[in-house]
Homo-oligomer: A and B are copies of this chain.
Amino acid sequence: MAEEPVNKPTTNEDDDFVDPWTVAGKSETGIDYDKLIKRFGSQKIDEEVIQRFEKVTGKKAHHFLRRGIFFSHRDIHTILNLYEAGKKFYLYTGRGPSSESMHIGHMIPFMFTKWLQDVFDVPLIIQLTDDEKVLWRDLKIEDARQMAFNNAKDIIAVGFDVEKTFIFNDLDFIGKCPAFYQNMVRIQKCVTYNQVKGIFGFGDSDVIGKITFPSIEAAPAFSTSFPFIFENKVLPCLVPCAIDQDPYFRMTRDVAARLKLPKPSLIHSTFLPALQGAQHKMSASDANASIFLNDSAKHIKTKINKYAFSGGQTTVEEHRLKGGNTDVDISYKYLSFFLEDDDRLAEIKKEYESGVMLTGELKKEAIDVITPWIQEYQKRRAAVTDEVVEQFFKLRPLKF
């Protein structure tokens, strides 16, 4: 029996809506993540967890941890205990590729995953679910594969270590690894239609590919799916991902118990909000809501100045008097993701909330942090050739 419910948490009318396909908050301050933790049944990353992270790794916690951007977990202590005992585990994350350029919101889990890889010195597996995109969208196999290949370049440019990272797209890889398909079948045998209906909200008119897809996102959480990397060793897995992917891993953890394999541990991120406000996450399908990784400095400046929702007051006089609201201000939120300097961030918060800093000045702070970050990224991205991608995609042992 599973110790956790695999059913979809009940959603009340005034709850934020979060599933793998839709994120819609009810408040202009964004998703109520504490409430989400309760509904999903995960654990909060509190001060104690952060301190244990620092103690075990001997490194300062990433600012995503310090600032609650990675805010929730399942069994992270299992992983920290393993690391402390000098035992091995691996990281698994992924992405549903899209035709558009990736945006800065997509980078959050990958930036943190790279930090985890560096800190723990462990192998990393990145799945690109191009098959999912074919099933959910009006998209041809060939186009989905190309999208996966292009997105892989964007991901590699985050700076992953080729000796410790394997990237694959389902439409090519599943036909190259019998052990992976065999694990898919093992998983598919443990999960009923009723269960995926409950967890993902699938309906009777959904195509059978969607209904079975969760087994494909689950399979990489078991090391036995990758004999060329792990031989047949059973290694525990840590999945860093945005909280909307949690339903897949609630299911996977239930399956793991039935297959007598280690349950994957999870560490969940919040969403980078859209320019227009924190109710919605940044979305590639809305160009005006997103800052893309291939945007120019001019684009970035224009978008933030024009679209970034402001927590400031309507007149300068009123602003000087009342101060701005960092709980809803998008420029401030972006700074909390991209400005690593805690002291400077605290200073900005204080100045903005007291009315010393005006909205235009806060926007400039955000532009001045994001622009060089993207420019550095674009330099790395330019160096990712087809040959580099092939190295990451090659079925091979990883260093660990």
Contact = CB atoms under 8 A, between A and B. Distances in A.
B172 A178 contact: yes
Interface stretch (A45-53, A80-88, A211-219, A383-391): A211-219
A176 interface: yes
A207 B215 CA distance: 11
Contact of A193 (B134, B182, B188, B205): B205
A247 B147 CA distance: 36
Interface residues of A, number: 40
A181 B193 CA distance: 21
A116 interface: no
B204 A215 contact: no
A282 interface: no
A220 to B, nearest CB: 14
For A188, A197, A204, the residue with the greatest tally of chain B CB atoms inside 10 Å of its CB is A188
A190 B206 CA distance: 10
A205 B194 contact: yes
A189 interface: yes
Contacts of A99: none
Contact of A178 (B134, B174, B204, B212): B174
A196 B134 CA distance: 20
A141 interface: yes
A265 to B, nearest CB: 24
Contact of A185 (B131, B190, B194): B131
A31 to B, nearest CB: 29
Contacts of A193: 193, 202-208, 211
Nearest to A193: B204
A275 B185 CA distance: 36
B208 A188 contact: yes
B208 A204 contact: no
A208 B196 contact: yes
Nearest to A139: B189
A140 to B, nearest CB: 9
A226 to B, nearest CB: 12
Contacts of A185: 131, 134-135, 141, 171, 209
A101 B383 CA distance: 59
Nearest to A182: B141
A187 to B, nearest CB: 8
A175 B171 contact: no
Nearest to A177: B175
A208 B197 contact: no
Nearest to A195: B208
Contacts of A182: 141, 171, 175
Given A135-B189, A193-B204, 5 more contacts: A174-B175, A174-B178, A174-B181, A192-B205, A193-B207
Interface of A: 131, 134-135, 141, 170-182, 185-186, 188-194, 196-197, 202-209, 211-212, 214-215
5 contacts: A170-B181, A171-B185, A193-B206, A208-B211, A209-B212
The 5 lowest CB-CB distance pairs between A and B, nearest first, are A188-B209, A175-B178, A212-B212, A175-B181, A174-B181
